[in-house]
Amino acid sequence: MITGEQKPIDEIREMIAPYKRILVLGCASCVAECAAGGEKETAMLASTLRIAAKMKGEDVLIEEKTLDRQCVRDFVILLDDIIEKYDAVLSLGCGAGVQAVAEMFTEVPIIPAINTEFLGETRDQGYWLESCLGCGDCMLHHFGGICPVARCSKQLFNGPCGGAMDGRCEINPDVECAWHLIVDRLTKFGALDRLENIYPPKDWSKKQGGGPRKIVREDQQK
Amino acid sequence: MNNSSKLKRVLEGGGFAVTAECGPPKGANSDVVLKKAEMLRNKVDAVNVTDNQTAIVRMSSIAACSLLKTAGLDPVLQMVVRDRNRIALQSDILGASALGIRNVLCLSGDHHIFGNQPQAMGVFDLDSIQFVQVVKMMRDEGKILGGDDLSQPPDLFIGAAANPFADPFDFRVIRLAKKIRAGADFIQTQCIYNLYRFERWMGMARDMGLTDKAYILGGVTPLKSPGMAKYMKTKVSGMDIPDELIKRMEGVPKDKQREEGINICVETIQRLREVPGIKGVHIMAIEWEEVVGEIAERAGLLPRPVFG
Amino acid sequence: MTGEQKRTLALYYCQNVPASGERERQDLEEKYGGNIRLFPVPCSGRLEPIHLLLALEEFADVVYIITCPEGTCRYSEGNKRAKKRVEMTRTIIASIGLEVERIGMIIGSKENPISLADHARAAMERTLRLPPSPVHN
Ligand code: SF4
Ligand code: SF4
């Protein structure tokens, strides 16, 4: 899932200050799972902004709506009937959702309400952990299912570095050393000898080959 | 002036090598580097120049190495993969060789979160082992990554670092083997305070035949105070300082603590010389370069060999 | 009640609170002439920040939550969860400059059970100590 966190309310208030009729737009997919921009959070943010506006005696209309997926045009199009009412959209979608809305409704300014952060997993209630960087060439099978690209602070392919202590990363004792996990896991599989090989430099062109990456699948097209 | 690596010649000649560390200034003043050069002249075989160590911006290590070279010393260019991608790294390797720098130490580098530019984008395009491999390919095959030929290969003695004190312990020597297989000619270790653990690690390295494949130099750092020892023990990741040493430092009056730190350092070097497979020492006197000569002298490492 | 003095309190309470049946609820609302709005919840853990925010936005000067006594929660963790949500909602209102005291929480005591009517009086007293909400004025 893609994770994010809501921006501070002051920053949001500053961004929406020029507008009078605002649609607060949530997304019921990833950002709902990470409790940043789902229906609940959208209602909370809208209510908070209305309270703040009332306190300041500002005459603004703030309404809310949550789409099933803000990054898919089939859903974004549902705004077609209502968008005219508003002079700005405050989106709680991830960066992709924000841009999808912006692309479809070019007349309305769209403002991001969350900081999109990472591709991760829900580790526990209220705990999300970055686990993939979308490198475009997955190598998890070499590393016991633990990604050194996303989870080692130095992106080592031949770790662990000299700072690893007691299974903790040198950057912070709260951070697990990805390489310690990799070594442990491969030891369990009896496959530690795999790490005797020197893993060659990674082909980053699969991640940032020039311009935004795209996937085109004819079989999926109409 | 012979334009080859003095470090390499000492090691290949079977000598016990001595290297020291020199941190470039946080400014553009070449005189600081030259002053340090004078402190170290004839006291050591080669001088490592750190590369924005602890991710604090300092004069570039290539520039400082070049200054040392001009002053007649044999610099070891430390290069971290934190700040440069493979294009910049390979280009700097060529530049360094052209400037007459003959030794390079390939490192990952301290994470930038610790330094004075925590907002920087960390590069880490190659890791240190891959970097060793690339430098070796450039030197021995005259090729860069991707296979393009060089008009002239760089002439460099290739080094890597090893930390016997980081975890997981058993994997440490496997990683050393990888660095050597990647192409490291010499290895400089993390500062040694826990000789017991170090000797165990060296034993494993000998068993794997690694001490015959690369020159291993043991790292030492003189302690200035018990406070410094405690700080390093708790705050510097991958550092192993036994409590007895801290107690020993605490046991002497304040004005004798530096001397005690030097004593410990000299004793450590003497013990390291007895460890089979150790080919030299690397003295990292952090911002205390003036003490290196005294340590080398007292450890019986002077005079250093002179080459024509 | 004069306009000056009028406050509206939204009171959410766990149905485990003693003497909190439908009768008592109606009696209380009548007694306070609409200045208290009472909302029974099966478990205070079910309350979401949005409920508290909407009450503050729409009508209430102050919101109170009365949980069942600690250790007696039917859903075992409900009142603990309620506490975290109250904290979070307080952070939100503080971020827009609203006094955190506008959201209150009373955790019932097992040894010393208090009736809904007594809770209501206590909460109303504290409500009156705050000025009218800037949201509605
Ligand atoms: S290897 Fe690449 S694709 Fe696979 S988990 Fe890591 S970053 Fe993601
Ligand atoms: S301590 Fe582990 S996770 Fe952290 S940078 Fe080093 S190898 Fe990577």
Predicted confidence at residue B135, as pLDDT, reads 98
Q: Are residues A142 and A70 in the same domain?
A: no
Residues with CB under 6 A from ligand 2: A 152-154, 156, 159-161, 163-164, 169-171, 177-179
Residues of chain B contacting residue A192, judged by C-beta atoms under 8 Å apart:
171, 174
B-facing residues of A in 114-153 (CB < 8 A) are: 153
- Classified as helix, coil or strand, C9 is strand
Predicted confidence at residue A193, as pLDDT, reads 92
Domains: count for chain C: 1
Ligand nearest to the CA of A179: 2
In a domain, B109, yes or no: yes
CATH code, domain carrying B102:
3.20.20.220
Predicted confidence at residue B2, as pLDDT, reads 57
| Domain end among A118, A150, A181 | A118
**What is the residue with the minimal CA distance to atom 8 of ligand 1?**
A132
Burial of B209 (0-12, 13-18, 19+ CB in 10 A): exposed
d(CA B149, CA B22) in angstroms, rounded, equals 34
In a domain, A211, yes or no: no
Asked if the C-beta of C97 comes within 8 angstroms of chain A's C-beta atoms, the answer is: yes
In a domain, B1, yes or no: no
Ligand nearest to the CA of A141: 1
Burial string for B16-38 (b: 16+ CB within 10 Å, else e) reads: bbbbbbbbbeeeeebebbeebbe
Enumerate the H helices of chain B as residue ranges.
Answer: 6-12, 30-40, 61-70, 86-98, 128-141, 169-182, 195-207, 226-235, 243-250, 257-274, 292-298
Residue for token pair 């080692």: A152
CB pair distance less than 8 Å for A48 and C96: yes
Asked if the C-beta of B190 comes within 8 angstroms of chain A's C-beta atoms, the answer is: yes
Mean pLDDT value of segment B242-265: 96
In a domain, B169, yes or no: yes
d(CA A24, CA A66) in angstroms, rounded, equals 8
Ligand nearest to the CA of A150: 1
Task: Give the A:B interface size as CB pairs under 8 Å.
Answer: 98
Predicted confidence at residue C99, as pLDDT, reads 97
With the C-alpha atoms ordered C89, C95, C96, C100, is the resulting torsion angle positive or negative? positive
Q: Are residues A94 and A14 in the same domain?
A: yes
d(CA C92, CA C98) in angstroms, rounded, equals 9
Question: In angstroms, how far is CA B44 from the centroid of its own chain?
Answer: 13
Q: Which domain holds residue B164?
A: 6-298
Contact C7, C127 (CB under 8 A): yes
Predicted confidence at residue B307, as pLDDT, reads 85
On the question of pLDDT at B51 being above 60, the answer is: yes
pLDDT digits (tens, 9 = 90+) for B219-239: 999 999 999 999 999 988 889
d(CA B23, CA B68) in angstroms, rounded, equals 12
Q: Which two tokens stand for residue B53?
A: 């160590």
CB pair distance less than 8 Å for C57 and A40: no
Predicted confidence at residue C108, as pLDDT, reads 80
CB pair distance less than 8 Å for A162 and B190: yes
Question: In angstroms, how far is CA B307 from the centroid of its own chain?
Answer: 22
CB pair distance less than 8 Å for B167 and A160: yes
CB pair distance less than 8 Å for A196 and B108: no
Ligand nearest to the CA of A152: 2
CA distance A56 to chain C (A): 8
Which letter does DSSP use for residue A191 in this model?
-
pLDDT digits (tens, 9 = 90+) for B85-97: 999 999 999 999 9
CB pair distance less than 8 Å for C56 and A52: no
**Full DSSP string of B133-181:** HHHHHHHHH-B-TTSPBPSS----EEEEEE-TTSSSHHHHHHHHHHHHH
Question: In angstroms, how far is CA B23 from the centroid of its own chain?
Answer: 11
Helices (H) and strands (E) in chain C, counts: 4, 4
Q: What percent of chain A has pLDDT over 90?
A: 96
Domains: count for chain A: 2
On the question of pLDDT at C1 being above 50, the answer is: no
Among chain A residues, CA nearest to B164: A162
Q: Which domain holds residue A32?
A: 2-118
With the C-alpha atoms ordered B269, B274, B276, B277, is the resulting torsion angle positive or negative? positive
Ramachandran sector of residue B217 (left: φ over 0; alpha: ψ -120 to 50; beta: rest)? beta
In a domain, A127, yes or no: no
d(CA A156, CA A153) in angstroms, rounded, equals 8
Asked if the C-beta of A43 comes within 8 angstroms of chain C's C-beta atoms, the answer is: yes
d(CA C137, CA C126) in angstroms, rounded, equals 19
Task: Provide the mean pLDDT of chain A.
Answer: 96
**What is the residue with the minimal CA distance to atom 3 of ligand 1?**
A138
d(CA C100, CA C45) in angstroms, rounded, equals 20
Q: Best of A119, A137, A138 to mutate for ligand 1, by most ligand atoms within 8 A of CB?
A: A138
Question: In angstroms, how far is CA B180 from the centroid of its own chain?
Answer: 15
Contacts of residue A103, Cβ cutoff 8 Å, sequence gap at least 6: none
Strand order in the sheet with C36-41: C36-41, C9-14, C62-67, C103-107
Nearest CB to C97; choose among A40, A47, A55: A55
CB pair distance less than 8 Å for A198 and B82: no
**pLDDT band for position A79 (cuts 50, 70, 90):** very high
On the question of pLDDT at B1 being above 50, the answer is: no
CATH code, domain carrying A95:
3.40.50.2300
Contact B167, B195 (CB under 8 A): no
In a domain, A87, yes or no: yes
Q: Which two tokens stand for residue A104?
A: 């479809």
Enumerate the H helices of C12-115 as residue ranges.
Answer: 22-31, 49-58, 78-95
CB pair distance less than 8 Å for A158 and B126: no
The interface predicted TM-score (ipTM) is 0.92
In a domain, B95, yes or no: yes
On the question of pLDDT at C75 being above 70, the answer is: no
Decide: A203 in ligand 1 pocket, CB within 6 A: no
Decide: A114 in ligand 1 pocket, CB within 6 A: no
Q: Which two tokens stand for residue C67?
A: 């949980």
Expressed in angstroms, the distance from the first to the final Cα of chain B is 8
Asked if the C-beta of C117 comes within 8 angstroms of chain A's C-beta atoms, the answer is: no
Predicted confidence at residue C76, as pLDDT, reads 65
Helices B226-235 + B243-250 axis angle, to 10: 160
Q: For B61, phi and psi rounded to 5 degrees? A: -70, -30
In a domain, B282, yes or no: yes
Predicted confidence at residue A45, as pLDDT, reads 98
On the question of pLDDT at B127 being above 50, the answer is: yes
d(CA A152, CA A165) in angstroms, rounded, equals 13
Domains: count for chain B: 1
CB pair distance less than 8 Å for C53 and A48: yes
In a domain, B308, yes or no: no
Among chain A residues, CA nearest to B134: A201
Q: Are residues A63 and A148 in the same domain?
A: no
Q: Best of A131, A176, A177, A195 to mutate for ligand 2, by most ligand atoms within 8 A of CB?
A: A177
Contact C92, C51 (CB under 8 A): no
Q: Are residues A101 and A142 in the same domain?
A: no
Q: Are residues A109 and A159 in the same domain?
A: no
On the question of pLDDT at C74 being above 70, the answer is: no
Predicted confidence at residue C2, as pLDDT, reads 43
CATH code, domain carrying C20:
3.40.50
Bridge partners (DSSP) listed for residue B27: none
On the question of pLDDT at C100 being above 60, the answer is: yes
Contact A41, C50 (CB under 8 A): no
In a domain, A156, yes or no: yes
On the question of pLDDT at B144 being above 50, the answer is: yes
d(CA B290, CA B293) in angstroms, rounded, equals 7
Enumerate the H helices of chain A as residue ranges.
Answer: 9-16, 30-33, 39-55, 73-76, 95-104, 148-151, 178-188, 205-208
Q: Using a threshold of 3 CB pairs under 8 A, tell whether chains B and C touch.
A: no
Predicted confidence at residue B287, as pLDDT, reads 87
pLDDT digits (tens, 9 = 90+) for A115-171: 999 999 999 999 999 999 999 999 999 999 999 999 999 999 999 999 999 999 999
Report how far ligand 1's centroid is from the alpha carbon of A179 (Å): 15
Q: Which domain holds residue C57?
A: 3-136
> C128: part of which helix (H) or strand (E)?
helix C116-129
Asked if the C-beta of C50 comes within 8 angstroms of chain A's C-beta atoms, the answer is: yes
On the question of pLDDT at A214 being above 70, the answer is: yes
